[in-house]
A and B are shown apart, each in its own frame.
Chain A
Amino acid sequence: MFDAIVVGSGMSGGWAAKELCEKGLKTLVIERGAHIEHGADYTDSLSPWEVENFGMVPEEEAAADYPIQSLCYAFSTANQHFWVKDSEHPYTVEPGKPFKWIRGYHLGGRSLMWARQSYRMSSMDFESNAEDGHGSDWPIRYEDMASWYDHVEKFAGISGSTEGLAQLPDGQFLPPMELTGAEKDFKSKLEAAWPTRKLIIGRCAHLTEAQPHHEELGRISCQYRSLCERGCSYGSYFSSLSATLPAAKRTNNLTIVTDSIVHSVIYDPQTGKASGVRVIDAKTKEGRTYEAKVVFLCASAIPTAQILLNSKSEAFRNGIANRSDAVGRYLIDHLSGVGGGGIYPSSQSHYHRGRRPNGFYIPRFRNVTEPTADFVRGYGFQGGVLRENWRRGVTRPGVGAEYKASLRAPGPWRLGMGGFGEMLPRWDNRVTLHPSQVDKWGIPLVHIDCSLGENDKKMIASMRADIREMLERAGCTEINVGEHYGGVGLGIHEMGTAHMGVDPTKSVLNKYNQSHDVPNLFITDGACMASGGCQNPSLSYMAMSARGAHFASEFLKEGKI
């Protein structure tokens, strides 16, 4: 019998585990995938020529086993063990509604491969549902989250600049990384053309100046290798393996089991509480159960919904904590995959040294400083202005010494940027269990029925137009703006499937991330989000997990659960 069970070891699970352990709770973390050893299982010491097949996953293997995962830029032979085999972990989608689901089932989850951008949601994000009527009103406001953002930023180490923007609150930052001269130039052109738009350095979970509490965990400052998606042996970026799990471990309150797939949460009708979880051993397929006083689901939005829906009993015929019928619904992602670029006029006698694992950020201006009649909510842009390298030669005709010489020098400066837009929560966008198909462990497959709404499509069109206009105003040439892929999922920010709300008949969780229906069941991963803002959400999951763990531990102490 444990005090707490945390299902999942990624961004949210790592935080829940750390906080619960530090509060003295004997905590079991259950990870469905394999153990990954921080450092030993990384390939960040390899130079390009030492990487198997120069990073290229065999074509037939990629097509057969990784058709979805291989869509992600970070997928390569250097970190192939961080991605699920789509062939081994199938899911179904509604015909004509592509959902591209990028996953990592292993200790640390996607906190190993994430892009590390870390932004607070703002007052307007927690008020937007109430204001325009989409989704459920958040039961919390920014003020409820602010101190938890402070808390997780200090521990994780978030680098950024203080800007005083209402739509993007400042935080407890390590020193910012620096913009290139070309980026500074673009910033001044942009801010001159649109006085209320801002370009800032990205806020990212990198130790630009490791503090003693980081070093205690074996983490050191970023060395600007930009090999992050292979795992960082220096622990310079935040992951469960570099930071939260080691912190949890040193309390001696942590137990981790891997290769253990949570089948369902066990409900005890006598107590009205969850008594633990049923697990299937990924290797032997044997079943077993674990018991605890409190259960945290941090399996990521879609699997958390899958577990809830699969936890059926007399009391919960449609899945545990689902009296509202909201479990699995309101699935959202960020509208991502719209990008553009062009050649940027800048100094040919300047260059950059080192590889900055970060870029610039243009915080949301639509419906903040620039009201927009077409759609509600808004989007931000991430990008960079760097000099091109030899890759510019790939599509260029030419052979021989002159061609080679022309590729030796740094290329022109290239401005590239992509949008991240807020997708509206919609009742119809949902995850269900497949009525007949099961995976190799006998668990019903997830069926995803999710598509872009009218507001989403208008926003995508607007992002494309804005990118083009900003590139033009910046004086770019050879401008190219890509098409959106038309589906959902590639923002890799699934959220909303067990959202927080005031009304227990319409939402799954209350303001403590506690389920309305089962008082000792907490959910702090992306599933809890009533709306997504347009900011990369990991920092909010961290804060939400720390906050939820605080309340769970208080309620346990008070004998409330």
Chain B
Amino acid sequence: MVEGARLPEVDRRALLRTAIMLVGGSLAGVPSVALGATSDRFFTPAQFAIMSEMAEIIMPRTASPGAKDAGVPDYLDALMTNWASDQRQAQFRALFDEAGGVGFMNLDDAGRVAFMRNFDAGKLRVWDPAYTKFKELVLTLYYLSELGATKELRYELIPGKWEPWTEISPDAPAWAV
């Protein structure tokens, strides 16, 4: 359909499974990492863990799904392979290595949240290119994910009409798009 289309993540994983079958392998006994849990990820396990945690702290599970529930870490990891430039990839690795280097993952839950609050404010203050893009992507992937768009916010594929001035209650969620 689209010229130069790249395989979406699910197809890539399906191909990996097929490849294993083709060389006479069996899925039994294949470690889960080979099936897409981590081995075909862009980020190292340490980077992925930090990235997931940071995303979840920005958009935590509350009464509605959080970033992890919505699949943000996997989406973001796939974007690194399917969208990000070499420079962007290096920026993002460095961002999560930086947080890891100062012991982010060694903190308890409250400590991580406190860390992120400072980290977020500091990075936005200097308009750090890696972090500002990361935050933009976390919001984009969360609110445009199926759960984010339909459970946290509201979404209609086919509104069918235009209502330019409707009354809403104070707790009415916004439209995702």
Residues A80 and B139 in contact, CB atoms below 8 Å apart: no
**Supplied contacts A354-B162, A354-B163, A401-B62, 15 more A-B pairs, CB within 8 Å:** A47-B149, A48-B149, A52-B2, A53-B83, A56-B83, A60-B85, A63-B85, A80-B2, A81-B2, A223-B159, A223-B160, A351-B166, A353-B156, A389-B176, A410-B168
List 9 tightest A-B contacts by C-beta distance, closest first.
A354-B159, A48-B144, A181-B165, A59-B85, A354-B162, A353-B163, A410-B174, A180-B164, A178-B164
Stretch binding the partner chain, chosen from A187-195, A392-400, A428-436 = A392-400
A560 at the interface (CB under 8 A from B): no
A89 at the interface (CB under 8 A from B): no
Residues A352 and B164 in contact, CB atoms below 8 Å apart: yes
A555 at the interface (CB under 8 A from B): no
Closest chain A CB from B114 CB (angstroms): 10
- CA distance in complex: A224, B58 (Å): 32
Contact of A177 with B162 at beta-carbon distance under 8 Å, contacts A351-B168, A398-B120, A399-B116 already known: yes
Residues A354 and B85 in contact, CB atoms below 8 Å apart: no
A405 at the interface (CB under 8 A from B): yes
Which of B4, B79, B152 is the one whose CB lies under 8 Å from A56? B79
Residues B157 and A47 in contact, CB atoms below 8 Å apart: yes
The interface centre, meaning the residue of A57, A58, A390 with most chain B CB atoms within 10 A of its CB, is A390
A41 at the interface (CB under 8 A from B): yes
- CB contacts (< 8 Å) of B23 on chain A: these are none
| Complex: chain A residue closest to B87, CB-CB | A59
Closest chain A CB from B137 CB (angstroms): 9
Closest chain B CB from A110 CB (angstroms): 17
Closest chain B CB from A361 CB (angstroms): 16
* 0/1 string, A9-36, CB within 8 A of B gives 1: 0000000000000000000000000000
| Complex: chain B residue closest to A42, CB-CB | B1
Residues B86 and A52 in contact, CB atoms below 8 Å apart: no
Residues B113 and A400 in contact, CB atoms below 8 Å apart: yes
Residues B58 and A400 in contact, CB atoms below 8 Å apart: yes
Closest chain A CB from B76 CB (angstroms): 10
Which of B84, B113, B174 is the one whose CB lies under 8 Å from A399? B113
| Complex: chain A residue closest to B174, CB-CB | A410
Residues A389 and B173 in contact, CB atoms below 8 Å apart: no
Residues B174 and A409 in contact, CB atoms below 8 Å apart: yes
A49 at the interface (CB under 8 A from B): yes
Residues B135 and A52 in contact, CB atoms below 8 Å apart: no
List B residues 1-19 near A (Cβ within 8 Å). 1-6, 8
Residues A400 and B162 in contact, CB atoms below 8 Å apart: no
| Complex: chain B residue closest to A80, CB-CB | B2
The interface centre, meaning the residue of A56, A178, A400 with most chain B CB atoms within 10 A of its CB, is A400
- CB contacts (< 8 Å) of A403 on chain B: these are 58
24 A-B pairs, CB-CB below 8 angstroms? A45-B157, A47-B146, A49-B149, A52-B5, A53-B79, A54-B140, A81-B3, A178-B164, A181-B165, A224-B160, A225-B158, A349-B167, A350-B166, A353-B156, A353-B162, A355-B159, A356-B162, A389-B174, A397-B120, A399-B116, A404-B59, A408-B153, A409-B173, A410-B168
* 0/1 string, B122-160, CB within 8 A of A gives 1: 001100000010011001110111100100110111111
